[in-house]
Amino acid sequence: MKEKEKWLRLARISQKCTVTAGVVLAAALLIFPVQGPAAAASAQIDSINVAKTESGEAVRPESKKLIPLGHTTGIKLFSEGAMVVGFASLDEAGSRSPAEAGGLALGDIIINVAGQDVSSNETMAQAVASADGGPLTIKAKRQGKEVTFTVNPVLDGASGQYKIGAWVRDSLAGIGTITYVDPENGAFGALGHGVCDQDTGELMPIGGGSLMHSEVVGVKKGASGEPGELTGEYELTRDQGVLYQNANDGIFGRITDENVSQGGKALETAPKSELKTGKAQIIANVEGDTTQAYDIEIIRLYDDEDGSNRDMMIRVTDKRLIDKTGGIVQGMSGSPIIQGGKLVGAVTHVLINDSQRGYGISIEKMLETARSL
């Protein structure tokens, strides 16, 4: 059965946020409510009211040796437009919303309304209001292709404003783990799976984003049927890096704060062909601002036939980690896996019925994606 993921919403958001890493149920997608046997480790909050960070020139991992980091990080992502995440009737009869009746669908990325480019929820609302009830030409991206619709707004009696009955989202924030950093140019990869909208299940196309300093302040231990989770604090105004890409195999970008990887030892990376069952370690940040190596065992290897990012099954064997977290918990997505002194992959999921077991992606697959951007 194909694994499915879900990122639960975080507790709250402010200038310094306390967040709880969510539950994830899916093979390469994140943040959407479906049932499944596995859960991934990360966290999400809804729209965030902060300015986008300029990404600058993109860099790709080029060094033969990379620093396996294993430190948690706050993550904020901005959509390249406004993603449709729901519809609402605007009359007492419960009629279809104007947006849905006009052809818009969940997951569409609205990029232009009535000739005005949409870069946020606010710019979209302004464009709708400026039409003063007239028909709206709406351009959106659907599965990578641009589509055009005509939507007729309806006057909302409660607010006295014209609306199209669509819920949209322009940003997400959460917590995850940085897998590697290139010591030469700062290129990084994290999570080992993509970030998807919690309502639509769609991989969120990003128009920018950044990493933020974070610390782990608490742990909810995992148990059978109930994945555990890290609780962390991160600061929206203290950026550590910029994001370029949100892909099925992880999120990728460039570290801008060299303190993030300072003192880290770079290791060679191993191709998937060198992976083998047996002893290994993960590097994880489950307390404060520190990382530690914990013993695990790779108990099964998978081929690529199902097209997922599941390359291995792992089991935590280190009593220290089991006592602290119960095994693999939400927030550990991206924790690097080390075998034979080489970086071989990253943790991506935990089995819901067994918190000591989970899945991992090979570093080869993450790097192939990062270098193709």
Instruction: Please provide the distance, in angstroms rounded to a whole number, between the alpha carbons at the two ends of the chain.
Output: 30
Establish whether 333 is a catalytic residue: yes
- Say which of 71, 108, 182, 193 is annotated catalytic: 193
In the 8-state DSSP scheme, what is residue 133? T
Establish whether 71 is a catalytic residue: no
- Say which of 108, 249, 311, 318 is annotated catalytic: 318
- Say which of 42, 119, 120, 333 is annotated catalytic: 333
If DSSP codes are grouped into helix, strand and coil, which group holds residue 103? Answer: coil
Helix (H) or strand (E) holding 275: none
> CA-CA distance, 77 to 271, in Å (whole number)?
30
- Where are the alpha helices (H) located in 224-346, listed in sequence order? 319-325
Strand segments (E) across 88-228: 109-113, 116-117, 136-142, 145-151, 154-156, 161-163, 166-181, 187-190, 206-220
Tell how strand 166-181 and strand 161-163 pair up: unpaired
From the list 74, 42, 24, 45, the residue with the least C-alpha distance to 243 is 74
Contacts of 373 (CB under 8 A, 6+ apart): 58, 60, 244, 245, 247, 252
Please state the length of the chain.
373
Establish whether 354 is a catalytic residue: no
From the list 200, 273, 204, 213, the residue with the least C-alpha distance to 32 is 200
Q: Is residue 18 exposed (0-12), middle (13-18) or buried (19+ Cβ within 10 Å)?
A: middle
Q: Which residues are catalytic?
A: 193, 318, 333
